[in-house]
Structure 1
């Protein structure tokens, strides 16, 4: 083996893979029962954290950065003048096993540029996973990127060896995709998603009848959208996400801020990179949809198409719906408790449990761990400050921001004093 050449390939193809952020492993339960290598049960992969606080990682690479497409937003597009490389199937297998034995990684995240054809590329990705499972007896986590346009047969085979599959939708709307990637067809992204969803449903049904039924993509499927490459509003992006969650049973939708890579007139100017705060607000909105019972149509509307950058989306919604507050924590149902700014999932569970035994007061809520600098303006238990009743939403927003800033300033000063 030419180690210098392998190292060069690794530098090129690991760097090219950094733009793909959809590499979480939550949901996989693949256990090692054959005395093989690895175990993905209960683990997160690549910059994810397990419940006990461990940070775990994976080998995250492209099979190749050669590509037959010329998508304006992609660093590996065929017209871009970059150094190209490609791994052989066995080289990826050997690297994965070698890195695993050295305790560098706990799994593999494998994507690829599209060379020759979608089916040819997908076949190569599957060969890597198949060799790891069957020849190396590797039971660690494997995430394969599904290639848009790949056949149903290949998508079915991929799910038998991978823990998670994902097709990056890339641009949130059809019009945006047509503008920046005219060679690609929107339906080529939808077809693999539909296939994976149906196969997961089918295998789960069969496993109830036949215990020996193999697991199919046990960690489900995910997708990723590039934010800011085209003019989509936050409303457009999050409505697309809601569609994918409902239509294709997505485990996760990831949001990746556009990184300027060229002076293409179709793209935002160099230097206008999407702020991290916008990504953060999109993820917070995603969280509200998936875990807090919000309908996306409540958060973003035709009249309110962009998330506020200075406050989180739950607080923003609450300030626009003052008529629903204050909420009595001793009487409100779970759904309404979840809508109080500063009150999280764990706090709601504690409130519901605690109020079975006594009426809750302010001291109890503080002990439960509620963020009182926001929550106190939207709930009541024993009493409520009278002056807040007549305060308009904008003044209340500024008061909350001022209170939050003072709190964080004090915490920062306290930390500095330790040094």
Structure 2
């Protein structure tokens, strides 16, 4: 009896040891330390339920320290198996340095469009090195109570947009739009690159600018500045000194009717605003025009080229490309939308409104983010300044376009 029992115990111990030996633990590097609970409570359990032989550790760094900390770990050979990827040049640099593996042949990549993958590809599109996770979409969030109170309808054209702003201003109860120019980036990100795609026709214009067949002095690139030049009249007193948090507070406290927005505001606004909110896409110039939205690539995940656990890591990355991951991530972080081709229904109504525009409009990304901001002067930062100056009335749309074009042509060969 004792021999039999001992044999059974030894066999059981051996089986457990074999199982433990078969387990692989993957470590994820990330800057999204605010996502820790989401990974621990939702994403990791869902993956491990399907792959009990692979364990996941999510080990984020502080956002401001991430790039430096990650580079140091990669150089020392101590980085995790999976690397959370920022868009465009930062991750491209890691790939070109041999730090990120080519994932072009990953099965899950078939679930993403070329636009979705563009932030994590080589310039010629021949290699894709991170699996896209989420994007943010631009548009306008509005106070539905204010609109009901003033009898306003959601504007669909530019003329309707300014008619709504005029009515809000005339009534005087609310500031028509909450946006300042003190921090500059909002003027470009929630201003120029929000409304601009309707003028330069999204990817058509963005790629033409990269190729050099369109210039920043061309009408599709100057026209958005002409619209921005009209915004100053609707931003309230002192908007020139108004910071980004000031604008957020003005809107969530119910003092402004419209907020030029990125979808990342949704969670915060849901917690702060005590009124119902809606959203509308950037109005087109004329009724019936094709519409374009900035559906900007934000976050992805790649494979450390030096990982000793590449097979297990690729299994996880394939799952990141699945519909299950898309549903979990997008609903846990409303306003960060799956970049996959799956139709992911949003539980949050405001998030669902934003993402529904993908079915109505053409998606593009911010015009300055790929290739065009590698030189000096940096086109992204210059666009911040130009957008703010135009809104304040301190630079004409035409002068802004010429200044940006001259700066780009000073270092970028296709524009010389």
Higher helix share: 2
Same fold (TM over 0.5): no
Task: Give the TM-score range, shorter chain.
Answer: under 0.3
Q: Could you tell me the TM-score, scaled by structure 1's length?
A: 0.23
Which structure ranks higher in relative contact order (CA pairs < 8 Å, sequence separation ≥ 6)?
2
Higher strand share: 2
